[in-house]
Amino acid sequence: MSAVVRRRVVVHGLVQGVGFRYTVRSGARSRGVAGWVRNRPDGTVEAVFEGAPDAVESMIRASEKGPRAASVERVEVAEEEPEGLTGFRVR
C-alpha cells in the first residue's frame, strides 16, 4: 500500500461563487482523495486533501486552475500529518 499524505491548501483570488468547492469535490472523489473543502470569510477557499502522493499533488494542481469561472491568484500549500479521513465533503 502506498503512503498517505495530507496537504492543506488556501486558494486566493475569485474563487467563491464560481463552483470552486463542487469542482474540487468532484476531482477529489474521482482521484480517491479524502478530505474537505470550504469557503472562508476572507473570500478564500480552504481544502484538505489526504491520499496517495500523486493523487494529492494532482488535486493541488487542479486547485491552481479551478473551474472555468474562477480566477486563481495564488495557492498556499502546507504539509500536515494524515488523520485517516474518509470521503470528501463540502463544508
pLDDT at 48: 98
Q: Is 21 a catalytic residue?
A: yes
Domain coordinates of the chain in residue numbers?
Answer: 16-81
* 10: helix, strand or coil: strand
Inform me whether the pLDDT recorded for 31 exceeds 90. Answer: yes
For 2, 30, 47, 58, 91, the CA distances from 25, given in Å and listed in that order, are 22, 9, 10, 13, 10
Inform me whether the pLDDT recorded for 47 exceeds 80. Answer: yes
Tell me, yes or no, if the pTM score tops 0.75.
yes
- Active site residue: 39, 40, 74, 89, which one? 39
Residues 33-43 have a mean pLDDT of 98
Residues 80-88 have a mean pLDDT of 95
Just give the CATH number of 16-81: 3.30.70.100
- Active site residue: 6, 7, 21, 25, which one? 21
